[in-house]
Each structure stands twice: as structure tokens, then as C-alpha cells.
Amino acid sequence: MTAATIVSVAACAAIWWVAVPMEAVCPAVYPAPVGCTAADRQSAGVTWTIALAVSYVVTVAVALTIGRRYRWLTRAAMSALVVVAVFGFGAVQGSTGVAFSGDNHRHADVPAASMHRPSPGSGR
């Protein structure tokens, strides 16, 4: 149960202190496309926090009941909790766009070739 609590608290902290406050990387158009507002990332954070809480409750319930007799069920429930935590963080982080490091920030829908300027003398 301690491991389940640590995983749940760490995942919630990562979602709300790392993923939700990130800046959205979206095309510079007005109005912003669907999924490019702070409210969209907060909505994803709430959804995945609820999913994480439900997974935590199921994991603890299994560990305290049938998992005492069948240890593999406790391990399976814990594994499912870890999968929900990792996938939830990734889903919240990617809910409003994709950020790349360096100077080549671009939206996930923009092909990489369109981000480059033609070189001098290339005839373009």
C-alpha cells in the first residue's frame, strides 16, 4: 500500500506541478484551435487525476482483500496503477501540443520541411 500511495502522490504532483503549468505550443492563429488553451490542459489534468484516484482505490482494495491470498493480483493492480500514472502524465503533457527544445519549436501538425527557410541560391 505504501508503494501505491507514493506512486499516486508522485503522479498527481507531476501532473499538477509539471504538466498542467507548461506552455501550450500551438499555431499562432486566432481563435486558437481546439485543444490549445490552458483550460484544455486543466481539463485533461482533472480527468487523469480522477482516473489515478480510481486506480489507487482499486489497488488498495485488492491489496487489502483478495490480494492477501493471491499475491499476483496485488502485483497486477500495482502494475496497472503505474501504467495509469505514466500514461496519464504523458496524456496531460501532450494534450495541448508538443514542445521541442532549442530554436525549432513547432506544432506537431506542421511538417518539419515547412520550418526551414530556403538557402541562398537554391532557386526558391
Interval 17-58: pLDDT, tens: 888 877 767 777 787 777 777 778 888 899 999 999 999 999
Of the spans 61-70, 103-112, 114-123, which averages the highest pLDDT? 61-70
- pTM, 2 dp: 0.69
Give yes or no for a contact between 62 and 75, defined as CB atoms under 8 angstroms apart: no
Q: How far apart are CA 115 and CA 124, in angstroms?
A: 14
pLDDT at 86 over 80: yes
Q: Which pLDDT belongs to residue 96?
A: 73
CB contact set of 58 (below 8 Å; sequence gap of 6+): 77, 80
Q: How many CB atoms lie within 10 A of CB 72?
A: 8
pLDDT at 105 over 50: no
